[in-house]
Amino acid sequence: MFKKNDVKAIAKILECDVDTAKKALYTANSIIKKNSVNTYSTARAFKVMLDIINKSKAAKKRKSEYPTFNMKHKAILLYRYEIIQLFRDNENDEKFGYGLIVKHLKYKYNLTVSRSTIKNYIDKYIEYTIEG
């Protein structure tokens, strides 16, 4: 088992949070345990560990690019990147409406959100990108 200070030090060196470092270390450890210990299995473990950390950093970057605009709805807080991507992918479609995004969130995440909430968030985001 890793000592907490060791995990914190690794997280600091790799510039990620402690939970991501723990997840990456446990995954790398299991890869090494399942395979015979050699240079290639160790390299594979490190590659997987670094992939986990890079995905975490990319997710944090995406969240910072899409502000919440002080909206409190769970769908906005958790899935704002996906909402904007759906909007961008479908804005030129004749049949596009905010109901499409609502249905997507209901189907994929079982979240109920109103069309007006989605519209308000997208309007604020568009205004933010024009000003910024």
59, 74, 103 - which closes a domain:
59
How many separate domains does the chain show?
A: 2
Q: Are 126 and 119 contacting, i.e. CB atoms less than 8 angstroms apart?
A: no
Same domain, 75 and 120: yes
pTM greater than the 0.85 cutoff: no
Q: What is the pLDDT of residues 58-115, one digit of tens each?
A: 666 666 678 888 988 888 888 888 898 889 888 888 888 899 999 999 998 888 999 9
**What is residue 103's predicted lDDT score, i.e. its pLDDT?**
92
Same domain, 49 and 104: no
Q: Are 28 and 49 contacting, i.e. CB atoms less than 8 angstroms apart?
A: yes
